Chains A and B, each alone.
Chain A
Amino acid sequence: MVATDAEQRVATAQRWATTRENVAQAGLQLIGIGAVYVAIVIFFSFASENFLTYSNTINILTNVTVIGIVALGQALAIISGGFDLSVSGVVPLGAVSFALLVNDGVPTVLAILLVLCVGGVVGAVNGLIVTQIGINPLITTLGTLSITSGLAYSLSNGVTIPFKNPDNGVLADKTVGDISYYVILLVALSIVAFLMLRYSVFGRMLYAIGGNREASRLAGMRVNLVTVLVYVLCASLASLAGVIVASQLLAGSATVGAQAALQSIAAVILGGAALTGGVGGIPGTLIGVLVLGTISNGMALMQVPAFYQQIATGTILLLAVAFGRLRHILVGEQS
């Protein structure tokens, strides 16, 4: 049956309306979390004289890079309707593997590639278990979290492995001014992820699969393949974060990255994503990462004890998410 001109016009109008609504919602989410971030910056600027300085700004950027890179992958997983707890095991596994490889004389670039492959394998295992065996991502990635974390301890014998040659920490070297390579890497990866989500077929498929997995399958999308690829990307980025943290510390340790899963999920949710999938984006995620990193930094400068820092971070997280939820409800009522 051929659609009439009138039907086509209605369909086109509906598509535009949906697009406008999505853009408006995404814009509101960004404005909302952006406003929260600005408020946090203003508060700490008054609360601590050391906060709004050039060196502390660099400090915040370097502090958030590791979680930022993990969060990029986590955002892809959450948008596609899953999530990945195993990043907390893949980060230390990446750090320890990198330290062992470079200490064994493997060239730095090759070592980074090998570590990315390790992450990719873990991601592929996650993706295949979720799609082929049908086990829930929570259980699957909890299992691989335990395995990868245990592997990191086994490989390192539970001890810190310092780099024999500090030059292997090249990613932590300064480049533009006082900004390290890894901060620039985060920015570059964020731009790539943003463009991929916004303008590529793969990116649009992630939103579609996250929104309605079954409908996407019926529409002819290769849902399982896309899901596996998402987990591969997520774990590869987590292993890269492991390389970065090892480069920062000039050592690999199985204790690093323990908070990576919780912090990255929190950042993605703060950035406007929903655990149900289909919603979210890179700019929001990055602001979410900055919110968490800035709160932590600001409270440290204010000499707030660690226990209260945890309480304050959790409270602000809940408030920000509740604010986002309220906004979502209000926008829904208006439309």
Chain B
Amino acid sequence: MVSEQERSIGRLVADVQARKLTRRQVVLRGVALGLSLPAISWLLAACGGDDDDSGSGDKQYYFTFANVLESGELFVQLGNGVEEAARVQGVKFKRYNNNFDAETTLNNARLMVQEKPDLVLEYNGVEGIGESLRKIFDDAKIPFIAINVPIPGGIWFNLVNKDIGADTAKVVVPIAQAEGWSAADTTVVIVQGSTAGVEVNDCVRYFYITVADLMGMPNVAPEDITAETTVITENGVQVDGMGTLEASYTGVKNVLQTIPADRHILLYTINDDSTIGSWRAITEAKREANTIVAGLGGSVAALKELRENPRWVAEGSVFATHWGQYLIAMGIAVMNGVTPPPLTKSPQIVLTKETVDKYYDADGKVKLLPPLVPENEYLKDTGVLQKFNNVEGLE
């Protein structure tokens, strides 16, 4: 009669012969089964030279990652996602905390190049120091991927705020028009973050521009909506919500005093905190029946609003917690000699009440990621994304 341990050893040998395991996994499972050192050595020999499957077949890569901040759920989850993706891919990995601070970021860059990694993943939150970072990495001849904030000379991975703002407008406008709203009786309220920079605020700028196009409102050029703009046109106002709950609440409360109560409002902001604060100002003014709102961020609170609040009709999601698998795939592509496009687009989609359940479960956890697009399609050739089995249309 075959014991359970013998069956386990049999499965281990079969997995080794099928090359399903890394050398580390062989050692761990061997030790767990109480195998002797010679037996584990024999299994390792049977494994051959593929120490870790890091994409190249014969070398374990070493990536370092400097996270923009290691506090706050979003950034911690993003960092954990990158670490987990590196582990799954068998990439040696080390993580740093830039602490949203220029000096710390530069210090981390110097520390990372001392480690001589094959590639650096740099999430720098201070736009002005890009040139200094480029010099550090270029001097050390280490390729680097800039996350979110571009670095001169680097490969760039980011969401496209402009697209997400325009796509949200395309969802919102038909709903407004179905309710009989028109340019004559509708005001667009966009809530920017004046210190967040042009790229981040592109979402609200292009939201207004697209809404204006679709609804026949007076329009302006993108460069005419700046951080200092308050009145865009007779149909559009911009509030500075600083990207926070409280400032958005106060800012929208004040601007509502200038918008006649009988006008309809299309509300869109740069992130979910700002949208939730702005929406609270709308409800406090008892104007929710006359307002359509769309969020951006895919936070748990916003997804709940999208599911339950009839006036919250769309939610832009950039799946930042899952950026890790794309970043590791990108790193492997670079190691394989691929030249990525100037911008590798992160997964992003505008969710509606009809599609939210396809991508998120009831607890706000990601179930599925949107399909690859031309700006990130090359990542599928690395085979990394397939290991996670969570990208729509990718087997």
Contact = CB atoms under 8 A, between A and B. Distances in A.
A307 B245 contact: no
B255 interface: yes
Contacts of A313: none
A59 interface: yes
B76 to A, nearest CB: 8
A223 B250 CA distance: 40
A304 interface: yes
Interface of A: 48, 50, 53, 55-56, 59, 62-63, 150, 153-154, 157-160, 162, 172, 245, 248-251, 253, 255-258, 296-297, 300-301, 303-308
Given A55-B257, A162-B304, A251 B71 contact: no
A104 to B, nearest CB: 17
B301 A162 contact: yes
Contacts, number: 99
Interface in B284-336: 284, 299-301, 304
A245 to B, nearest CB: 6
B299 A303 contact: no
A56 B258 CA distance: 10
A111 to B, nearest CB: 19
A307 B227 contact: yes
B228 A305 contact: yes
A56 B250 contact: no
Contacts of A248: 249, 280, 284
A301 B254 contact: yes
Interface of B: 71-76, 194, 227-231, 237, 240, 242, 244-246, 249-251, 253-255, 257-258, 272-273, 276-277, 280, 284, 299-301, 304
A160 B272 contact: yes
Name B's interface SS: helix
A157 B257 contact: no
B253 to A, nearest CB: 6
Given A158-B73, A251-B301, 13 more contacts: A63-B253, A63-B254, A154-B71, A157-B76, A158-B71, A160-B245, A160-B272, A160-B276, A249-B246, A251-B280, A296-B250, A300-B251, A303-B230
A306 B280 contact: no
A158 B74 contact: yes
Contacts of A150: 71
A159 B254 CA distance: 25
A253 B390 CA distance: 31
A256 B273 CA distance: 11
Contact of A153 (B72, B231, B240, B254): B72
B245 A306 contact: no
A251 B74 CA distance: 18
Contacts of A297: 254
B257 A56 contact: yes
Given A63-B250, A251-B276, A301 B245 contact: no
A159 B72 contact: yes
Contact of A157 (B73, B246, B277, B284): B73
Nearest to A303: B230
B246 A305 contact: no
A154 B301 CA distance: 18
Given A50-B257, A55-B257, A255-B246, A157 B231 contact: no
A63 B242 CA distance: 17
Contacts of B73: 157-159
Nearest to B69: A158
A53 B245 contact: no
Nearest to B258: A50
A303 B72 contact: no
Given A59-B254, A160-B245, A307 B300 contact: no
Nearest to A180: B284
A55 B280 CA distance: 17
B72 A300 contact: no
Contacts of B71: 150, 153-154, 158
Nearest to B252: A300
Q: Which 5 A-B pairs have the closest CB atoms?
A: A158-B72, A300-B254, A306-B240, A303-B230, A305-B228
Contacts of A160: 245, 272-273, 276, 299, 301
